[in-house]
Amino acid sequence: ILNVEQSPQSLHVQEGDSTNFTCSFPSSNFYALHWYRWETAKSPEALFVMTLNGDEKKKGRISATLNTKEGYSYLYIKGSQPEDSATYLCASNAGNNRKLIWGLGTSLAVNP
Amino acid sequence: EAQVTQNPRYLITVTGKKLTVTCSQNMNHEYMSWYRQDPGLGLRQIYYSMNVEVTDKGDVPEGYKVSRKEKRNFPLILESPSPNQTSLYFCASSPTGGVNGYTFGSGTRLTVV
């Protein structure tokens, strides 16, 4: 059974802090790694889809890296703002391009 | 605006009364999928569809049916809802389901009493 694990489960930071979370996934038969941002009472919104080992993607203050050989991805938020408060989900469709396996998410709260 | 439209947003129903949750996308995506979200559990896939008339079971298909008669629509049918189907449901679509990000609908919170 494929498992995607995220840590930490939750995180509280102060406005202006930089932070990062981890997503680990099985490295065999890797296909793609997805990151989503999910605000309360809204639906998940795609941030990044990464496929290449060593890939790094950036969107504003948020960036992500990928290590497919060891099976992990980091999501970084630079200078956190209250509007960054959300649950960040990662998902992998390793070995099967039709199906994503989702982690449980990291819940981020940014205090003003 | 490119979007996935899901209806209804909220639904309370009684055990055994058939219901349909609709999902429609306007992006000409081939891939569509239904998920349920329960506390403490990740998004779990119910059914997915690679294209018109092509559907397949996900991880938790029991008690659900789907159809894909047109590319844009992918309704979720609960023939005889039970309380354990009380959940938050999301429909999602993607160009091909592989390396493309998914676009999610706004969710349907279903309560079965």
Judge whether residue A80 has pLDDT over 90.
Answer: yes
Cβ proximity of B75 and B20 under 8 Å: yes
Judge whether residue A94 has pLDDT over 70.
Answer: no
Lowest-pLDDT choice from A22-31, A35-44, B79-88: A22-31
Predicted pLDDT at B98: 73
Predicted pLDDT at A3: 86
> Interface of chain A against chain B, CB under 8 Å?
4, 31-32, 34, 36, 42-49, 51, 89, 91, 93, 97-105
Mean pLDDT of all residues belonging to chain A: 92
Judge whether residue B87 has pLDDT over 80.
Answer: yes
Inter-chain residue contact B56 with A49, CB threshold 8 Å: no
Judge whether residue A98 has pLDDT over 80.
Answer: no
Q: Which of B5, B25, B91, B104 best tests the A interface by mutation, with the highest count of A CBs <10 A? A: B104
Q: Which residue of B has its CA nearest to A42?
A: B106
| Concatenated DSSP letters of chain B | ---EEEE-SEEEE-TT--EEEEEEESS--SEEEEEEE-TTS--EEEEEEEETTEEEE-S--TT-EE--SSSSB--EEESS--GGG-EEEEEEEESSSSSSPPEE---EEEEE-
Predicted pLDDT at B99: 80
Q: Which residue of B has its CA nearest to A87?
A: B42
Judge whether residue A1 has pLDDT over 60.
Answer: no
Judge whether residue B72 has pLDDT over 70.
Answer: yes
Q: How many residues does chain B have?
A: 113
B72 vs B40, residue with greater confidence: B72
Q: How confident is the model at residue A95 (pLDDT cuts 50, 70, 90)?
A: low
> Which tokens go with A29?
């038969």
